[in-house]
Every structure is written in C-alpha cells, then in structure tokens.
Structure 1
Amino acid sequence: MSSDPPGFELPLRLFLAFRVLIDELHSELARQGHPDVRPMHGYVFQAIGPNGTTAADLGRRLGVSKQAAGKTIDTLERLGYVERGADPNDARRKLVRLTARGADCLTRSAQIFDHLRANWARTLGEDRLRALESDLRRMTPAEAFLLDAPGWFGNS
C-alpha cells in the first residue's frame, strides 16, 4: 500500500492554498478601505487593463456573457471602481476604465500579495517557497494569468 496521498488531494490542496491567499487578501483590502471588492473583481480589473475595454470584450476575456459582464460593470461602477465613457477612436463604443479607486485597489492588492508571499517565505523558508513556485511554473502553462476563471467556474 502506497504512502502517497490520493491523487485528488493535490488539486484540492492547491485550490485551498489559493483560497487562503485570496481570503487573506480580501480581509486586508477591507481593512484598507475596499470592503466591497470580491474575488471575481480582481479578474475584472485585470481584464479591463490600463487602456479600458468594452463590455463585450470584457465578457469574452472572462468567459462570461456580455450581459453578465454588464451586470458586473454596473456593480463596480456603483461602487466607484470603474467608469464608462466614450471611446475616443469610435464614438459608437463605450469603454470601461478603472477609476482612481480601482487603480488604488490594484496597487494595494499587489502590495498585500507581496506581504502574503513574505509570510509564506517565513513559514516555509525562502528556498522551499522558491522551489514550490518554480515547480508550479514548470507544471502550468506559460500564460499564467488566464482571466476566464469566473466563466470556467460557472459564475456568469
């Protein structure tokens, strides 16, 4: 009988580690003035990008319908994280852009993730954490930031 854990434990542990980091991120974001941001919003902010995007393009990037993307934009606009405006290159299109509040949330998120990583390094040791990160890079696609996770999970 093998002493190896069952194969299904690996994805569950990876997901649990992801969940722990994301929950810690959002707890700290709430303390720093962003209590309404949800995990899916981070994907949305990344998909909007620095130049903005349309609701249709946002939906495609996230793997959700244009209508689902529109509802998320409505929510984020109401919370002050995004704004809609005319596309300077095409008056028929509306662009969604991050507001200063949205950009602040992204900046704080990056700083918090750095802090969380430092905590993991203190607990596991820097060498072991670097080895784990290297191994994960080796086992996953190079395009590490697939933004369609909300659609993949079925949260459209």
Structure 2
Amino acid sequence: MDDSRTRGYMLGALLRIPFEAMALHINEALQKAGFEDIRPAHQRVFQHLPPEGARVTDLAEAAQMTKQSMGTLITHLEEGGYVERHRDPQDGRAQIIHYTARGREVERVARTSIAEIEAVWAQRLGHAEFAHLHKLLWQLVALLEEEPEREGR
C-alpha cells in the first residue's frame, strides 16, 4: 500500500473503518432476514448480552453507555420480542435481560454475517495476514484489559 496514504490515518480510524463496515454488513444481513426493526444501535445490546442473561447496569457498563440509554434500547428490543426481563433470583429488585427465541435468531444471523465478512477479508488480505491481524488485535485487547480502571471509563 502507498506509504503516503497509510500515514494519513490514525489508529482510531484504522480500527473504526473496518468496524463500521462490519456493522453495516450485519445490519444488511438482519434486514434481509426480516428483522427490519433492528437498528445498528441495538448491536450494542446483542454484543454484550451473554446467553445466561445480564442486568441492565452490567450491559450499560460493558457498552460504555448510561443505564438509561441501555434501558431505552432494551425496551425497544423487548417490544419487538427479542429480549425479555426476568426477576433476578438473588435480588428481587433487579431484572435480568434474556434473549427470546427471536433474539437468539438475530444473534445467529449476526454471527453468520460476521463469519462471512471475515472470510472475505481473509481471502482478500491473505489468510496468514488476516490471522496475524487477529492475533495482534487480541494482544492489544489483552494489554488494555490489564490496565487498571481509569476514572470515567
């Protein structure tokens, strides 16, 4: 690649551009699968909701957004039949968010879409280069997870 072009992008943009391409690919796949009411913002819920469910506060923290904003997304997904709320057996005041069958289908379509675009990128970059990129990104994630919590993060 032309060295003058590679110097023009900061690392944040180099990470953001493929992330946005992947998000667009996922959104298009969901639309084609009939999930027209799912928006890119909802991906923040699906990204962080584990199969066993999670509290709204934990989802908000993982997505680095306010509890109120996460609650709004969850309410919309609940109205669409993608998630449901259950009382937390350890704390009756809290609620655990769980996938419904419809939500699990969204998750399946999204994961399939991710695998498709990763396969295309691996083919275009070369499988060894793509594997190396994946390894380096995991190393960066591990380093960031080792950092002590910073205020406001």
**TM-score range with shorter-chain normalisation?**
0.7 to 0.9
Higher relative contact order (CA 8 A, sep 6+): 1
User: Is this contact kept in 1: 2:54–2:98, CA < 8 A?
Assistant: yes
Does the alignment pair 1:92 with 2:118? no
Structure 1: which 5+ residue stretches go unaligned? 146-150
Q: State the TM-score, normalizing by the size of structure 1.
A: 0.76
Residue 89 of structure 1 aligns to a residue whose secondary structure is coil
**Which residue of structure 2 lines up, in the alignment, with residue 77 of structure 1?**
78
1:139-150 → structure 2 map (5 Å cutoff)? 140-142=140-142
Residue 13 of structure 1, CA deviation = 3.0
User: Is this contact kept in 2: 1:82–1:98, CA < 8 A?
Assistant: yes
Residue 71 of structure 2 aligns to a residue whose secondary structure is helix
Residue 38 of structure 1, CA deviation = 2.5
Q: State the TM-score, normalizing by the size of structure 2.
A: 0.78
Aligned partners of 1:57, 1:131: CA distance in 2, in Å? Answer: 32
**Which 4+ stretches in 1 moved above 3 angstroms?**
7-10
1:99-138 → structure 2 map (5 Å cutoff)? 99-138=100-139
Residue 91 of structure 1 aligns to a residue whose secondary structure is coil
**Which residue of structure 1 lines up, in the alignment, with residue 31 of structure 2?**
30
**Which residue of structure 2 lines up, in the alignment, with residue 61 of structure 1?**
62
Give me the CA root mean square deviation. Answer: 2.6
Aligned partners of 1:50, 1:96: CA distance in 2, in Å? Answer: 10
User: Is this contact kept in 1: 2:29–2:109, CA < 8 A?
Assistant: no
Structure 2: which 5+ residue stretches go unaligned? 146-151
Aligned partners of 1:130, 1:7: CA distance in 2, in Å? Answer: 25
Summarize deviations over 1:78-100 as a string: whole Å, max 9, x none.
11111112223333322221111
Aligned partners of 2:70, 2:55: CA distance in 1, in Å? Answer: 9
The alignment covers a number of residue pairs equal to: 144
Change (3 A) 1:107 1:23: same
Residue 144 of structure 1, CA deviation = 8.2
